[in-house]
Chain A
Amino acid sequence: MGFLDRMSTVVQAKMNKMMDKIEDPRETLDLSYEKQLQLLQNVKRGVAEVTTSKKRIELQKVKLQMSIDKLDSQAKEALSANREDLARKALENKAALQAQAASLDQQIADLNDQQQKLMAAESRLATKVESFRTKKETIKAQYSAAEAQVKVTESVTGISEEMADVGMAVQRAEEKTENMKARSAALDELLESGTLTDLSGGDEIEKELAKVKAQSTVDDELAKMKAEMKK
């Protein structure tokens, strides 16, 4: 059996699951339509969820970038105060944060991709559902239960395939978002517990730089006093 045949079997199984066997084909139409509307709501929720996850990670990226910028200016400040050791430490921390930021960029790109695909799927499904609704009313009005059978089979199979497809897409997106949520929560914890803020050198490097600055102010003042006393 080829790969694509197997793929069709997988989708077929999902379709069968979705469509219950009903005697009156016109009833099948109504039931299918109800399920389509439900699925449409699901897709909308899926899109919203992916969008929320993306925003959350974008926010983390902004926070990280601020830390990176801060470390960068600290490194410069340290260098101009002739403290290469401090500058080195700041740059080392900066490199670690940059690696984190790159991973966030990748996640944002993935989520963006998911978001675009789901939105396209939503719009395709919405168009099909509307078209199905019109068709269903025509079939119900024009045919007896027996005559409707053939007409129903084609449109219901067609729409069920679309529904199986969209349903799977939503599930895949949910699984991916779930994975990222866990990673993102872990990063939030690091940010909150201060592990990353320490890494961002906020405290240690800042303190050292303040000391250096204070020292040089004292030196300046001493020099000034000495000069005045010599007069």
Chain B
Amino acid sequence: MIIRILGEGQFRLDDKLLDELNRIDNRIVDHVQKGDEKAFRQDLDRLISTIKEQGEPVDPVDIFPSGIIVPPEDMSFQEARQVFCGPGLIKD
């Protein structure tokens, strides 16, 4: 599968890792809803480092859409809340 980390480009990852990413994703939803900023930061870091460590960067010459899009690593907790409640990461 192809994953994009916003601000860092695309990575190619083994599909086997999808379950693990989903587990982290669900925990992140939980942290944002509970307002647990510290746990959010930890799991976002974990998500991104898993993709970078286990994945291969896609050659920039290749052009195709990603299956999964991951937020930038410096996303603030406030921005994460906006992704859920507001108009999104960046205002139009």
Contact = CB atoms under 8 A, between A and B. Distances in A.
Interface stretch (A70-78, A93-101, A163-171, A223-231): A163-171
Nearest to A162: B63
Given A4-B69, A169-B72, A135 B28 contact: no
B29 A169 contact: no
Interface in B17-69: 21-22, 25-26, 28-29, 32, 60-66, 68-69
A101 B63 CA distance: 44
Contacts of B71: 3, 7
On chain B, which size bracket covers the interface?
A: 20 to 34
Given A131-B63, A158-B65, A6 B84 contact: yes
Nearest to A118: B7
A10 B63 contact: no
A181 interface: no
A155 interface: yes
B90 to A, nearest CB: 5
B6 A169 contact: yes
Q: Is chain A's interface secondary structure helix, strand, loop, or mixed overall?
A: helix
Contacts of A6: 83-84
B26 A2 contact: yes
Contact of B65 (A10, A13, A157): A157
Contacts of B65: 154, 157-158, 161
Given A8-B68, A157-B65, A158-B64, 9 more contacts: A6-B83, A13-B88, A17-B92, A120-B9, A131-B60, A154-B65, A158-B63, A168-B7, A168-B90
